[in-house]
Amino acid sequence: MIKEQKEKIAGFLAEVVEGLSREEITGMIEIPPDTTMGDFAFPCFKLAKTMRKAPQMIAEDIAGKFAGNEMFSEVRNVNAYVNFFLNRPAAEADIVSRIVAEKEAYGGSGVGQGKTVCIDYSSPNIAKPFHIGHIRSTVIGNSLYKIFDFLGYDVVRINHLGDYGTQFGKMIVAYRKWGNHDDVVREPIKSLLSYYVKFHEEAEKDPALEDEARATFKKLEDGAPEEQELWQWFRDESLKEFNYVYDLLGIRFDSYAGESFYSDKLQAALDKMENLGILEESQGATVVNLEEENLPPALIKKNDGSTLYITRDIAAALYRHDTYDFDKCIYVVASQQNLHFRQLFTVLERMGCDWAKGCVHVPFGMVSLEDGTMSTRKGKVVFLLDVLQNAVEKTREIIREKSGEDENFEETAKAVGIGAVVFQELSNNRIKDYVFSWDKTLNFDGETGPYVQYTHARAASVLRKAPEDVAEILSGAVKPDMTLVNNDDTYRLMSLIGRFPDAVQEAADKYEPSVVTRHIIDIAQLFNKFYHDVRVIVDDKAERQAKLAVVIAAKQTIANGLALLGVAAPEKM
């Protein structure tokens, strides 16, 4: 809503300011650091040259021209600034009207209409554990999908599974030497992980195993039937387990086209690079020299002719653009891969793909364990499924202790437990590294998902006490008189609610879901103060409806914010 208010003020200022366009004026309007200085401020320093006056005098003249404007309770100059104080009840009434009209759509926009965004996220490796490290790409990507969808974009959700590469040569060799069919069927990921770990232990004693693994992967790549059959089985069994985690998180994908999907598309990509003359031979391998861009060469084919991640990523990017004609292709992948994506996008540009400027790498920090870094090779991981199930179990215990079991007990425990894990992941800036701690993840006190969910349930509880009033407000039959709840704390809360659409747009612009997370935490904190300080259910109907309008606005905005994070908003807790 800040954007609309700035544009309105800019429209008024354009009539009295010389030498600046409306767009320039909009860009100059500031939000003061302290509300005692107004809701918006316009600096007049830039006008001194064109208007040939001291900035302070210009500010004084401009402020005088706003007398009687109903949008403002006061417009005054402070030195060289024009400070605008909004008519608070009118501003609050606008916010309520918009929320009543838009409901679940409040905070969204149509800014993305007609544009397509592909988001590549989660992308676990087949036959390896879906561990706590994968949660970052999974929930950041899912939240970005929801944010861009909320802004009107057509979003394609891609799970680019790690289902190809030398690791599968290792897995096949390990299975043939030490594997057991029944174990894989019973516990696919844990069994396959144990084989993978054993392979690396044995390869330290016998390096020839690495050569055998490379040769086995080459057979797989060349379409050998036995290797293909084993690979497909590992993939199918792994996906069953992955989908159980995705179901718990409420996450869906439009495409599971992993690396293997592009194996028959690699030659076309290689031919295109060859025809453009950008491939070179280097020590028997094939590379794209990126020296001009101050990057190391991109290794496209090894000296044995096998392909690499980047080869498959080039083929994938070409396919996605041909298939979806995307405006943006977003890759939610750890910051460790920064160089890879710089090379990938540069190679695409060298191939004449002008759309490569729409390819974006969204990096995030790494997760480590309290006793060191995770390592799949050593079997040192925390399974994501275990984290989610433990969070739900702890929530069951807390609810049982506080309020006992009701008909929604299991549903609430699942929503709050899983919500706690997801919310924590999205509460800090994505680029920060962090250490996974069971205690912190399962701590529901403080600025957490359960705190925000409980605030939503608390607001829902208040609204259940006055169903007729709520129905009248939500139907638009009543326009609450916001002068009846006019105080600084309520205005701060309503202003924050009014800024929710700006927070959503900022989250999209920065590819940063934590902007939404922090915003709804702030709303929850101010609403809880309102709840403690203000008696909502009073005898006077007009006053009661004005206060209920604040509750409706807070509840809807928190629900919409939680939805963008992929977190449920329980009506009761």
DSSP letter at 297? P
> What residue type is 8 in one-letter code?
K
Instruction: Count CB-CB contacts under 10 A for residue 202.
Output: 14
Q: H-helix or E-strand containing 332?
A: strand 328-332
Residues 128, 328, 361, 414: which is the catalytic one? Answer: 128
Crossing angle of the two packed helices 467-475 and 88-102, in degrees rounded to 10: 90
131 touches 388 (CB < 8 A): no
Check the CA dihedral 177-179-180-185 and report its sign: negative
Which residues on adjacent β-strands are paired with residue 436?
Answer: 369
Question: Quick one: residue 404, left, alpha or beta (phi over 0 = left, psi -120 to 50 = alpha)?
Answer: left
- 132 exposed, middle or buried (CB, 10 Å; 0-12, 13-18, 19+)? buried
Report the C-alpha gap between 179 and 171 in whole angstroms: 10
In the numeric block, which tokens belong to residue 460? 């829902």
Q: Is 160 a catalytic residue?
A: no
Q: Is 240 a catalytic residue?
A: no
| Phi and psi torsions of 430, nearest 5° | -60, -25
For 54-107, give the DSSP string. -HHHHHHHHHHTTTT-TTEEEEEEETTEEEEEE-HHHHHHHHHHHHHHHGGGTT
Residues 131, 146, 361, 547: which is the catalytic one? Answer: 131
Q: Is 134 a catalytic residue?
A: yes
| Phi and psi torsions of 295, nearest 5° | -125, 150
| Phi and psi torsions of 38, nearest 5° | 110, 175
In 3D space, the residue among 465, 454, 457, 461 whose CA is nearest the CA of residue 544 turns out to be: 465
Residues 8, 49, 115, 134: which is the catalytic one? Answer: 134
Active site residues: 128, 131, 134
